[in-house]
Chain A
Amino acid sequence: MKYWISVAVFLILALAAALSGVNEYVFYAGYIVLTFVVLSTAWNILGGYAGYVNFGTGAFFGLGSYSAVVLFKALEAPLIVQIIAGAAIGAALGFAVGIMTLRLRGIFFAIATVAILFIMETLMVNWRYVGGATGLQLLRPEVMAPFGSYTRMLFVVMALLAVIAVSVARYIQVGWIGRGLRAIRDSEEAAECSGVPTLRLKLFACVVSGALMGAAGAPMPMYLSFIEPASSFSLNWGVSALAMPMIGGTGHWIGPVIGALLLGSIQQIVTVTISNEINVLVVGVLLVLFVVLAPDGVVGLFRKWARRSSR
């Protein structure tokens, strides 16, 4: 109940801000932070709950972007259709990755996800229809009624996607599915012998995670009015989507949200005040600090503190 009230308050605030006179830049930056909330939450369903580390977030994200562009170019499909298509393609790729978990675990699975990223990028580089390596300039359609600009509208759309992603992750975590995924992370053999249908659960986690990543990628071309393969399939998406849950805490749905808000905001501030290049450094340094000093993330630190003060 408390959760749903917070969700409602968040959505109302996001909408109210978008309709108010707040500076356009806030939405421009906020959109990216919210994208990271979706990506890190989606990553955590597979990486945090089930323990399968995915470095290929960019493959899902980029494929979502390209599905949107193809639909837009071919049919002038509306944004909602683009997002649904991005989610569907992301889910399909997730299914394929899920099948891989039959044979690949640990570091080998992680390496395979990087390979998938490069394969997807290469495919798009060689596809003339979507602009190949140089990319494609896109003309945004008219903005919908209550919004003053397209960026403001996209901000609200991404806020909605973030709420959907977090709600799905929360539902999975607290229920029997989450317990099964945790069992898989701890020992796949023991999970199977405790009646957990490991393959089915892993496929489920991969599909849900992939769908959310694909959906997060779909509005990106409209946000930039541009698409090109190198940034769409950048390894940085995967590194951030992994670092944020690690910093926030992987065991709880709030972990990736905290991580994304914290790291995403710092990145935006650093981009403006220092430089775009320092961004990646910030992610790296924070990740190393947390892995060494607080392996259970912000959530873990908070729990430790709560336990100490309750004594």
Chain B
Amino acid sequence: MGAPLLQVKAVSKHFGGFTALSSVSLDIAPGERFGLIGPNGSGKTTLINCISGSLRNEGGQIVFEGKEISRLPAYRRTRLGIARSFQLPRPFHTMTVLENLLVPSAYVTHLRDSEGEVKAMEILRSIRLADKAHALASQLSQVELRKLELARAMAAEPRLLISDEAMAGLAGAEVDEVLQILFDLNARGITIIMIEHIMQAVMRFSQRVVCLDAGRIICEGTPQAIVGNPDVQRAYLGA
């Protein structure tokens, strides 16, 4: 493994007296498909909020491509190449699908609208959302909203994409469709962190999986190793 793309070094986060993350460390390699699992409240979303900049970590460092980023505001991190989707879709609901994608293309890749639209349509075609390009985001179905989250993240041309439960609440065929989109992105060289509750999807997708429980990493390894690990089973099923 060469130099890691992202290094999380001993990151901690507290909310009042509650410890959401205690000294979590991770290295993620360029091009990796990385899975993050853990029961509800284990700190998965807190960790990626710290990575994307929605929250500031208290202790430790976050290093992206050799640069310490944990004091940068979220928009600067997006411009450096970290994009994310939200667990509960947060579309720009008064805009069309196409306009949603023009926000990152204006603010991250600094394209003019004419160029941005061409690129946005390419992205929408690649995830089969092109027919909804001119629909208002508020009129989309649940699976379309998930796709829009990913499409908007892609319009920022990230090197690291964090997918926060992009498949939660979707039906079987829809899960496969979103999973395929993520595989395609990874094939184009984008590193992906996937947070997911749908075990089958994480296990199929990830090359390496980390399991969080109560703000600590309890286990790390290949999907097969994780499934067989007694700590993971205990965390999910109880002792």
Contact = CB atoms under 8 A, between A and B. Distances in A.
B99 interface: yes
A189 B85 CA distance: 11
Given A182-B92, A191-B103, A195-B79, 4 more contacts: A179-B106, A180-B106, A187-B91, A194-B104
Interface of A: 176, 179-180, 182-183, 185-187, 189-199, 251
A180 B90 contact: no
B94 A182 contact: yes
B54 A183 contact: no
Interface in B79-112: 79, 83-84, 86, 90-95, 99, 102-104, 106-108
Contacts of B103: 179-180, 183, 191, 194-196
Contact of B54 (A176, A180, A193): A193
B7 interface: no
B52 interface: yes
B210 to A, nearest CB: 22
Q: Please indicate which of the listed interface residues A182, A195, A197 has the most CB atoms of chain B within 10 Å of its own CB.
A: A195
Given A180-B106, A195-B107, A195-B156, A190 B75 contact: no
B74 A192 contact: yes
Contacts of A192: 53-54, 73-75, 78
A67 B54 CA distance: 40
Interface of B: 52-54, 73-75, 78-79, 83-84, 86, 90-95, 99, 102-104, 106-108, 152-153, 155-156
B92 A183 contact: yes
> SS class of chain A's interface: helix, strand, loop or mixed?
helix
Given A176-B107, A180-B103, A198-B75, A193 B94 contact: no
A199 B106 CA distance: 17
Contacts of B95: 182-183, 186
A255 B234 CA distance: 60
A32 B54 CA distance: 45
B90 A187 contact: yes
Nearest to B83: A193
A222 to B, nearest CB: 41
